[in-house]
Structure 1
Amino acid sequence: MEQQGSLVEYGSRRVIITITAVFCALLEIIDTTIVNVALHDMRGSLGATLNEISWVITAYSIANVIIVPMTSWLSQQFGRRNYFAASVIIFTVASFLCGNSTSLVELIVFRFLQGLGGGALLVTSQTIITESYPPEKRAMAQAIYVLGVIVGPTLGPPLGGYIVDHASWPYIFYINIPVGIIAALLTLQYVRSPKYAEKRPVNQVDWLGIFLLTVSVGALQYILEKGQEDDWFNSNLIIILTVVAILGVYCFIWRQMVYKYPVVELKVLRNGNLRMGVILSFIQGFGLFGSTFIIPLYTQTILGWDATQSGLLMIPSTLMVAFMMPIVGQMIQRGVSQKYMIAMGMIVFFIYSLFTYKVITPQTSGDDFFWPLMVRGVGLGLLSVPISTMALSTLKGVEIAQGAAFSGMMRQLGGSFGVALISTYLTRDIVGHRGNLIRSLDIYDPAVQARVHGIAAGMQAKGMAANTATKSAYQLLEGSVTVQATILSYMDIFLYIGCMFLVCVPFVLIFIKRSKAKVSMADAAH
């Protein structure tokens, strides 16, 4: 059982702990997206294919998802300060090794190690920040942390693009080193561990549970990361891993229910608010990472922007989240029900999706996204902190950290599901829309013929031969059809994501129960 009251800090000590924890969380999240823009340069220097180099992202994601559910147990085994400091050191050393990698295999292995170190930083840094504040200020502490979580994915691409353009790809890893060294030293000096029950001896550790969790969650994350690339169930490996994931999850659940000292305490899911919070964390991850994925994809494929420009487009939305955080923190402190804030956030996110659905055309510019993205920022501001506090509001003692691990893992998996489903849907929906457009585009139609002849005549006027001009005109028409089909698919995605959030509103209002006791933001922040 944790003695939370004794962990409150004051003055400069609290400021140092807050900055240390926020920077650690930011480093971990930025590293999930900063690599994306450097893949092309990595391919060239390591002699890898696009399929091979994408493992640099996959390995990190798999390690993250594996370690998050075990953070509560590992903190109890080693003490939170020691575990957090060790995680920072592993992350920092792995960053150095990633930058010094001379082969693809080395880089993938070191990225996996970096993910193991980084995955712990999220949940643990959130706990450290909020437990350093007195109860009356913990809403703001939670808001500070959530702001870091929202800012991270947005900062990654523009920061990575700038580093690659002005230096070389190893420096996207090297920038972690000075921050990591300082964070490790400050953690050992200033962070204190709560008092835990006596740690379990080695012979009581649930090694089988750890193995089953690693295999099942790792297999699931691989399926989500590589499914579309491997053509889903046309791949024997995907079929085998699906069977492994299903059997692994089943066996893991059975093991945790019957073993006296489980590595993940599943019984905590009997709490109704936590169950709802876990589901909402999944949906929030789906919407957050899905929209962070789809808009840069649109600007790069349709508008021809580079990754840095696409990343900068998302910054106004992030600033709006920053603006919302103190407002949301004040609302929670004044007793506004989390379920009404979550419901409103869902509705606002639907409005953002509908807004974006309406503005997308072949002529849409980056400026047209400004107001939809501002609405997105309001929606995320209303969702992030209330979901965290609501999920854990009716838990007590050691259940809190256990519940936090589920929420963190489901948010991560929600993002993975979102990106996997969106990329799969895009690939297949574009083909469907393209087929429909071509069927309705009769080349013998007088209007179509007039359009082709008009384009060809314009090309001939610039000196192009007649047969070449006609061929180019048909290719131009073909390209126009592909662009239209792509935009229709993007519109479908925004509409479906928006409807998913809207459908959740009545369930939020019906199934979330208000805690009779005042919510402790420290508890909610795990």
Structure 2
Amino acid sequence: MMPQQKNPYLVSVAVSIATFMEILDTTIVNVALAHIAGSLGAGTDESTWVLTSYLVSNGIVLPLSGWLSSLMGRKKFFIACIIGFTVASFLCGISTSLPMLIVCRLFQGIAGGGLQPSQQAIIKDSFPAKKLGMAFAITGATAVLAPIIGPTLGGYITDNFSWRWIFFMNVPVGIIAVILVKFLVYDSSFAKKSKTASIDYIGLGLVTLGLGALQIFLDKGEQNDWFDSSFIIIFAIIAVMGILGAIYWISKQKQPIIKLQLFKLRSFSMPCIMLFFVGFAIYSSSALLPMLVQSDFGYDATLSGLVLSPAGLAVIIMLPIVGKLVGKVHAKYLIAFGMFINGIGMFLTGFITPQTDYTTFVLVRIVQIMGMPFLFVPASTLAFSRISEADSNNASAIVSLMRNLGGSIGISLVSSYLTNCKQIEQAHLVSKLTTDSTGYRDALVNYTHTINNLGVVGAQAQTSALGHIYQELVTQSSILAFRDAYDLVGTILLILAVLALFMPKNPPHKEEIKAR
């Protein structure tokens, strides 16, 4: 039975405001790390714990949010999360030391971890089954747009005001969100507080240990040379033992904190895998492009963010269109199409050269991201097509975890791959710089002649010319490495485009049935 709520679109706006704010905070801080480190007298390596602390606490709470919603009641839990996130944001803004900021970010991640799953569950239960496509088009706007807008907004605020306003701006948004949710959202009978026989402390501990260690492993792996570091090895072992132990323990419980039985439904498990790679593609590609334009093209934080932002307009245009298509076209075909378009977009970076301008970067990014609505909306719709209201909280928690985990793994894997590719491409180009190379000889002569005209002569001129050639080599090898990293993401997406065709069908307008 559907809850007696207000207009579902008003409900969607209310719950999406808070969630958009939370997802924004996963990317908005990235571009401000150098400013934060300088302001608080900390090193760049130390300042990365501002990101890690948030990801760790957020990742732990995400899968537990369904259980916590049942414990408190979904609406109360959602409001508590908004209030907690808002207060923690204010405390982050007034932090006077790095340890204080890290602790506040930890609490911010804990409170924010319950927002995404709750938003998705509320919207899912607010719309009738035949309109699920449009419902998830709304959730898609927050899940896809926030990571795109985050770097742009963060860069603008940091360059023109202060990094503290990245956190302070959450306060009025949080207050508005609480008021709207208070008056617009009503719990269905399945979303109200339910009696729990006892708290599964062992399951809770294993989930916390496993996911917390995994997030630290992913976030710090590249920085610590992965398995060359005993620190990383220890956390990798803890992550594996914790996650495997949690799966085994939870699967034996009558009232599990995470309902793993939902994965027995192919209509749920396969879309979850696809949503994992949606997160992988969104977050990794969103991290790569600002790095490329800042390191090799001299863009500042604001301009590099503006490279990503126009793609957000393409997403906004496509979301309602895809929301309507879901009711007419099988989800697996839309997902395959989205994977294919995004995969092609990743390969377009092969056309980037040292002379590429801003407009070209924007157009490449639009193609890279315009297929995302075809992935997120149909995959979410299919995932929830056979989920009952009673399981909405648990299903939403798992879906949000898969997407965010895909993002964390994507950023770590692609960043590590990028570093290796830079070394390989540089070694390859250096091997071409021999006296037998006509291009190398001509470049050396031209650079030396130019420097001679500036009044520098002899060996000093040739040394300076070699320096220019080496700098150009480093830039070109870096651009080639970014192309290789995008090719990796593109290859994965094209493979998934084919695999998507083997997903189960969802008949248009099919009514929900209870998960078994």
TM category (shorter chain) comes to: over 0.9
2:351 is the counterpart of 1:354: no
Q: Secondary structure at the match of 1:141?
A: helix
Distance 1:440 1:266 in 2: 54
CA drift of 1:446 comes to 6.0
Q: Do the aligned partners of 1:317 and 1:373 also contact (CA within 8 Å) in 2?
A: yes
Question: What is the letter of the counterpart of residue 199 of structure 1?
Answer: S
2:333 is the counterpart of 1:328: no
What residue in structure 2 maps to residue 9 of structure 1? 6
Distance 1:114 1:317 in 2: 28
What residue in structure 2 maps to residue 199 of structure 1? 194
Distance 2:458 2:179 in 1: 73
Q: Do the aligned partners of 1:138 and 1:521 also contact (CA within 8 Å) in 2?
A: no
Number of aligned pairs? 514
2:74 is the counterpart of 1:73: no
From 315, 340, 343, the counterpart of 2:336? 343
Segments of 4+ moved more than 4 angstroms: 134-138, 443-447, 519-524
From 368, 374, 378, the counterpart of 2:370? 378
From 395, 399, 405, the counterpart of 1:413? 405
2:379 is the counterpart of 1:387: yes
Per-residue CA distance 1:443-469 (angstroms, 9 max, x = gap): 465653342132112111112243322
CA drift of 1:128 comes to 2.2
What residue in structure 1 maps to residue 82 of structure 2? 88
Per-residue CA distance 1:309-365 (angstroms, 9 max, x = gap): 1111112211111111111111123x31001111111111122122232x2112112
CA drift of 1:519 comes to 4.2
Q: Secondary structure at the match of 1:32?
A: coil
Alignment CA distance shift 1:497-1:81 (3 Å): same
What residue in structure 2 maps to residue 508 of structure 1? 500
2:430 is the counterpart of 1:438: yes
What residue in structure 2 maps to residue 121 of structure 1? 115
Question: What is the letter of the counterpart of residue 382 of structure 2?
Answer: M
Distance 1:49 1:389 in 2: 44
Q: Using the aligned pairs only, state the percent identity.
A: 36
From 401, 404, 422, the counterpart of 2:414? 422
Distance 2:6 2:133 in 1: 15
Alignment CA distance shift 1:450-1:378 (3 Å): closer
What residue in structure 2 maps to residue 171 of structure 1? 165
Q: Secondary structure at the match of 1:6?
A: coil
What residue in structure 1 maps to residue 464 of structure 2? 472
Per-residue CA distance 1:396-441 (angstroms, 9 max, x = gap): 3433432322221111111111111111111111111111211221
Distance 2:438 2:148 in 1: 48
Distance 2:508 2:149 in 1: 38
CA drift of 1:198 comes to 6.5
Q: Secondary structure at the match of 2:247?
A: helix
Distance 1:286 1:53 in 2: 24
From 273, 276, 279, the counterpart of 1:279? 273
Distance 2:362 2:163 in 1: 30
From 44, 48, 58, the counterpart of 2:52? 58
2:234 is the counterpart of 1:234: no
What residue in structure 1 maps to residue 453 of structure 2? 461
Question: What is the letter of the counterpart of residue 221 of structure 1?
Answer: Q
CA drift of 1:296 comes to 1.2
Q: Secondary structure at the match of 1:101?
A: coil
Alignment CA distance shift 1:267-1:131 (3 Å): closer
Alignment CA distance shift 1:407-1:15 (3 Å): closer
Distance 1:521 1:303 in 2: 51
Distance 1:367 1:462 in 2: 34
Q: Secondary structure at the match of 2:283?
A: helix
What residue in structure 2 maps to residue 21 of structure 1? 15
Distance 1:292 1:442 in 2: 37
Q: TM-score, with normalisation over the residues of structure 2?
A: 0.95
2:304 is the counterpart of 1:307: no
Q: Secondary structure at the match of 1:205?
A: coil
Q: Do the aligned partners of 1:8 and 1:134 also contact (CA within 8 Å) in 2?
A: no
Alignment CA distance shift 1:78-1:419 (3 Å): same
Alignment CA distance shift 1:145-1:397 (3 Å): closer
Question: What is the letter of the counterpart of residue 503 of structure 1?
Answer: I
For residues 183-198 of structure 1, what are the structure 2 equivalents within 5 Å?
Answer: 183-196=177-190
What residue in structure 2 maps to residue 180 of structure 1? 174
Per-residue CA distance 1:270-304 (angstroms, 9 max, x = gap): 11122211211111111111111111111111111
Question: What is the letter of the counterpart of residue 236 of structure 1?
Answer: S
Alignment CA distance shift 1:518-1:401 (3 Å): farther
Alignment CA distance shift 1:371-1:450 (3 Å): closer
Distance 1:18 1:390 in 2: 19
CA drift of 1:230 comes to 0.6
From 111, 119, 141, the counterpart of 2:135? 141
Question: What is the letter of the counterpart of residue 271 of structure 2?
Answer: G
CA drift of 1:156 comes to 1.4
Alignment CA distance shift 1:450-1:340 (3 Å): closer
Alignment CA distance shift 1:198-1:97 (3 Å): closer
Distance 2:511 2:174 in 1: 30
Q: Secondary structure at the match of 1:220?
A: helix
For residues 145-156 of structure 1, what are the structure 2 equivalents within 5 Å?
Answer: 145-156=139-150
Superposition CA RMSD, Å: 2.1
Q: Secondary structure at the match of 1:76?
A: helix
Distance 2:407 2:24 in 1: 15
Distance 1:488 1:62 in 2: 33
Range moving further from structure 2, 159-168 or 79-88: 159-168
CA drift of 1:136 comes to 5.0
Distance 2:442 2:490 in 1: 40
2:488 is the counterpart of 1:518: no
CA drift of 1:500 comes to 0.9
Question: What is the letter of the counterpart of residue 432 of structure 1?
Answer: I
Distance 1:519 1:468 in 2: 76
Question: What is the letter of the counterpart of residue 338 of structure 1?
Answer: A
Distance 1:167 1:374 in 2: 29
CA drift of 1:518 comes to 3.4
Question: What is the letter of the counterpart of residue 473 of structure 2?
Answer: V
Question: What is the letter of the counterpart of residue 351 of structure 1?
Answer: I
Question: What is the letter of the counterpart of residue 481 of structure 1?
Answer: L
Distance 2:441 2:507 in 1: 72
Q: Secondary structure at the match of 2:96?
A: coil
Distance 2:143 2:341 in 1: 20
Distance 1:23 1:478 in 2: 49
Distance 2:153 2:165 in 1: 11
Range moving further from structure 2, 158-167 or 439-448: 439-448
